[in-house]
Amino acid sequence: MKNAECGMRSAESLVHTSLDMRSCILHENLQRQVQVRLGARFRTPHSAFRILFSLALLALLSGCACEKPCEPPSQPLSYYLSSQADLMRIQSVAFVELDSPLADVPRAKEASESLYEDLQQRNLFNVEYVQRKDFRCRELPLDVNEPLELRQLDQIRKALGCDAVVLGEMYHFQQYPRTKVALQLKMIDLKNGRLVWGVKHTWDGTDKEVAHRIHEYWEDQVRKGFEPADEDLVQMSPRWFLKFVSWESVGTLPTRDTLGQPPAKKTAMQTMKKQAADGARKVVELAKED
């Protein structure tokens, strides 16, 4: 009995002195076990119970391992965002309809309309939608890939009556055999030529990470009022896929309410609990298939 008590005290001391290191090791091991078992597509209730138990233990370890805030996971999009002071100096923005040199022009127009709506909802600036066929654009340099000189910046500012301009192009669009969109956006301060915000990214509907973000988009932004449809609608419908692309692109900008505030940080516990919840959802889906 004394030996057992002594062992318990030694184990407890060891846990307290090296909790972070052991929690990380256990976390990685559990992740590998869960991935292997999910990949094997369990067939028995005992296997399901073991996986759920592993997920529960993973969530528990996550809550104990790190109480201090940690950096949020890396942003899935390739984007640039200048300082908040640069954003706050801009009052009016002209959003110029997307150029589409290699892609489907009607789809580029749909993407433009979604981007314009999403920019308005950020409530950061007064946003004007400018079509490329607008008479004011006839002599303006609006190629997103070409650098602008000071004279050209002044020309755009006077013609469109704005502090900044958003230029962009949808340089790839593919619907079959998979939905794929490539988009580039730039917001340029017309007073000094500074790049304030930019996005350049390719969305591939078959990518697992993109599919996961589509699921989050559907659950958070769309699902209510569209039952019994599910997120597959985003994958199958080019219009909905472009809405997702627009929402995710503009989502890299702050809102008026969050402007001037430090970026929110996720704790390790929040991150790991989300991973455990995602794993549990996969377990349920596999159980339904069996």
Closest Cα partner for 203 from 239, 236, 168, 248? Answer: 248
Provide the pLDDT confidence category of residue 272 given band limits of 50, 70 and 90. low
Q: Apex CA 268: angle with CA 286 and CA 19, to 5°?
A: 105
pLDDT one-digit tens code per residue, 72-95: 334 478 899 999 999 999 999 999
Residue 196 is predicted with a pLDDT of: 97
Q: Is the pLDDT of residue 274 over 70?
A: no
Give the separation between CA 153 and CA 168, rounded to whole angstroms. 16
Q: Is the pLDDT of residue 247 over 80?
A: yes
Mean pLDDT of 222-240: 69
Token pair 């990518």 is found at 207
Mean pLDDT of 262-277: 52
Residue pair 244/234 in contact by the 8 Å Cβ criterion: yes
pLDDT one-digit tens code per residue, 164-219: 999 999 999 988 888 899 999 999 999 999 999 999 999 998 888 988 898 888 88
What topology is assigned to 79-262 in CATH?
Rossmann fold (3.40.50)
Mean pLDDT of 16-24: 46
Give the separation between CA 128 and CA 160, rounded to whole angstroms. 9
Give the separation between CA 233 and CA 223, rounded to whole angstroms. 11
Provide the pLDDT confidence category of residue 258 given band limits of 50, 70 and 90. confident
Residue 207 is predicted with a pLDDT of: 87
Residue 73 is predicted with a pLDDT of: 39
Provide the pLDDT confidence category of residue 55 given band limits of 50, 70 and 90. low
Q: What are 99's strand-pairing partners?
A: 169
pLDDT one-digit tens code per residue, 89-129: 999 999 999 998 766 788 999 999 999 999 999 999 999 99
Question: At how many degrees (to 10) do helices 238-250 and 105-122 cross?
Answer: 40
How high is the mean pLDDT of the chain? 75
**CA distance readout (Å), 203 to 48, 240, 242, 286:** 34, 13, 10, 27
Give the separation between CA 199 and CA 204, rounded to whole angstroms. 16
Mean pLDDT of 20-34: 50
Mean pLDDT of 241-260: 90
Residue 229 is predicted with a pLDDT of: 62
Residue 101 is predicted with a pLDDT of: 77
Q: Is the pLDDT of residue 230 over 70?
A: no
Q: Where in the chain are the domains?
A: 2-72+267-289, 79-262
Q: Is the pLDDT of residue 152 over 70?
A: yes
